[in-house]
């Protein structure tokens, strides 16, 4: 009965696992057939899981699967459920962007969607992890699925190269992460987050070892979110991966890592002298990530690579919130969650436009800025949507991107981190150039005489994905207070738990 109640508390995970397993079983009988049924079945599973995640916002925090005298590896609380809802929404849009793309790329299979679902399971486990070992297990489940998805176009050399680079760099980052966990355990005798918080109230005998462990742990997370100087894998991997997976990777992996980091900082290392020692380390990474990411994005001619470096810079903005949280500013937790939500919609929307152009305008050549000439007139609705996403990524009103940065910067000001706020504002100003460059290409560049355009079947799934992403960006920009208040209530559940 105890385990039945525990499974009830994590129904989003149970639903996703059941859906993924059924997909794999049905795939055996689907050789040579269209996989649109797999996309639709995945969407149903994600929608049901999203319903249970939102329903869990009102439940009391629960410590799950704890043995006698043992700490709980999973904490089901409002914060974890709200984070799960964000990641499920991102996966839902990513699946909508996929059917026509993977059909044309000749990699259509039920395993494609099952791997997305398994990756989301890992993300949710990371968000609900009650100890560092569970966090690591969730991260590996997520990572293995994304590694395979990156190289699922086996007939594409770029995809194979990207998958190999991602696997090798991911394994390298895992070594740092495990070593950090080992050092933390060696200094405190525990990996459970609540117990770590209690240990750090009093001075820890192995403080140098603990600080080393914290730094190594942060280095491992920095690899996963592509923070500078651990970002070198991101442009090649983003460019080589299937475009829907690039969007899913950019938002899902980043969101899961940051949500887990917020839980680790807020629950495990709050108000400790040792964590204060590593705050300058996080701050330096945030500075470098914002400035370097934006400067490198300016010089890119390939839009996917530009969005890759853009993703790097956005990791820096989220790190500002983590620094403010480590300084004791509680509003930073909700600010990071809001920012990740807005980032999910605007980034997936931008990659959704690329998916459409690759399908409609002739393959990988549509990734170049020059291929965008006149697209705003050829595809008016698409041009409006892309303009909304670029404006949101630049942090302009009235979009969710604007309020995401506003809340992050406000929390940093309250924490006394004016230098990081200045860097964030400077980075946002720089980003306006390369985001508006896309809009200029859509509307203000002479259209070459390319002859008759390739034809393509109209994709209802892709259209629905772009509509959801656009609506999400604008809704968060027009009604931001409701979501930020929900984030604050969810963050309080960390303290209650």
Let me know: does 275 contact 269? Beta carbons within 8 Å. yes
pLDDT at 32: 60
Q: What pLDDT was estimated at residue 446?
A: 65
3-state helix, strand, coil in the chain (%, to 5): 75, 0, 20
| Assigned token pair, 94 | 């990513």
Contact 350, 386 (CB under 8 A): yes
Q: Are strands 74-76 and 62-64 parallel, antiparallel or unpaired?
A: antiparallel
Q: In the chain, which residues have pLDDT < 50?
A: 205, 361-365, 450-457
Encode pLDDT of 306-336 as tens digits: 888 999 999 999 999 999 988 888 888 899 9
pLDDT confidence of residue 158: 80
Provide the whole-model pTM: 0.91
Q: What is the pLDDT at residue 476?
A: 93
User: Following DSSP, what letter does each residue of 341-380 receive, concatenated?
Assistant: HHHHHHHHHHHHHHHHHHHHHTGGGGGBGGGGTTHHHHSH
Neighbours of 229 (CB within 10 A): 11
At 97, give phi and psi (nearest 5°): -80, -10
Where are the strands (E) in 440-491, listed by range? none
Measured CA distances, 387 to 82, 209, 329, 392, 430 (Å): 28, 49, 34, 8, 17
Q: In 3-state terms, what secondary structure has residue 129?
A: strand
CB atoms within 10 A of CB 452: 5
Decide if 497 contacts 61 (C-beta within 8 A).
Answer: yes
What pLDDT, on the 0 to 100 scale, is given for residue 473? 94
Q: Which residues contact 248 (CB under 8 A, 6 or more apart)?
A: 90, 91, 94, 116, 119, 146, 149, 348
φ, ψ (nearest 5 deg) of residue 393 = -65, -30
Check residue 136 and give its pLDDT: 93
Length of the chain: 497
Q: What does residue 75 show for φ and ψ, rounded to 5 degrees?
A: -120, 110
Tokens of 19: 């859906």
Four-residue CA torsion sign, 77, 78, 79, 85: positive
């Amino acid at each position: 009965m105890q385990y039945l109640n525990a499974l009830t508390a994590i129904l989003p995970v149970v639903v996703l696992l059941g859906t993924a397993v059924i997909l794999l079983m049905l795939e055996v009988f689907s050789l040579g057939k269209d996989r649109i049924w797999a996309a639709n079945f995945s969407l149903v599973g994600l929608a049901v899981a999203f319903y249970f995640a939102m329903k869990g916002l009102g439940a009391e925090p629960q410590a799950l699967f704890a043995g006698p005298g043992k700490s709980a590896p999973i904490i089901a609380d409002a914060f974890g459920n709200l984070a799960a809802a964000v990641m499920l929404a991102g996966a839902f849009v990513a699946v909508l962007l996929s059917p026509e793309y993977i059909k044309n790329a000749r990699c259509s299979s039920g395993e494609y969607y099952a791997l997305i679902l398994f990756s989301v399971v890992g993300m949710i486990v990371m968000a609900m992890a009650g100890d560092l070992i569970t966090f690591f297990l969730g991260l590996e489940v997520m990572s293995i699925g994304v590694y395979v998805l990156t190289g699922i176009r086996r007939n594409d050399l770029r995809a194979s190269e990207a998958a190999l680079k991602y696997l090798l760099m991911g394994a390298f980052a895992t070594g740092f992460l495990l070593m950090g966990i080992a050092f933390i355990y060696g200094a405190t005798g525990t990996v459970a987050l609540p117990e770590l918080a209690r240990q750090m109230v009093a001075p820890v005998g192995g403080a140098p070892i603990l600080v080393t462990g914290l730094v190594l742990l942060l280095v491992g997370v920095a690899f996963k979110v592509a923070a500078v100087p651990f970002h070198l894998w991101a442009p090649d991997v983003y460019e080589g991966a299937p475009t829907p997976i690039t969007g899913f990777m950019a938002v899902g992996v980043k969101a899961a890592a940051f949500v887990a980091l917020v839980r680790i900082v807020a629950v495990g290392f709050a108000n400790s002298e040792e964590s204060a020692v590593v705050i300058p380390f996080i701050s330096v990474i945030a500075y470098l990530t914002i400035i370097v990411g934006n400067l490198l994005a300016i010089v890119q001619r390939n839009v996917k690579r530009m969005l890759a470096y853009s993703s790097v810079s956005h990791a820096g903005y989220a790190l500002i919130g983590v620094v403010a949280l480590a300084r004791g500013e509680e509003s930073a937790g909700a600010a990071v969650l809001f920012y990740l939500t807005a980032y999910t919609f605007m980034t997936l929307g931008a990659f959704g436009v690329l998916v459409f152009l690759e399908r409609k305008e002739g393959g990988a050549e549509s990734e170049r800025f020059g291929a965008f000439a006149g697209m705003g007139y050829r595809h008016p609705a698409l041009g409006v949507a892309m303009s909304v996403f670029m404006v949101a990524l630049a942090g302009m009103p009235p979009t969710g991107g604007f309020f995401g940065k506003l809340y992050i910067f406000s929390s940093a000001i309250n924490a006394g981190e004016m230098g990081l706020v200045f860097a964030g504002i400077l980075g946002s100003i720089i980003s306006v150039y390369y985001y508006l460059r896309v809009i200029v290409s859509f509307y203000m560049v002479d259209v070459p005489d390319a002859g008759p355009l390739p034809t393509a079947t109209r994709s209802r799934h892709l259209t629905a994905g772009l509509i959801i992403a656009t609506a999400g960006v604008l809704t968060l920009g027009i009604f931001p207070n409701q979501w930020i208040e929900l984030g604050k209530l969810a963050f309080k559940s960390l303290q209650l738990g």
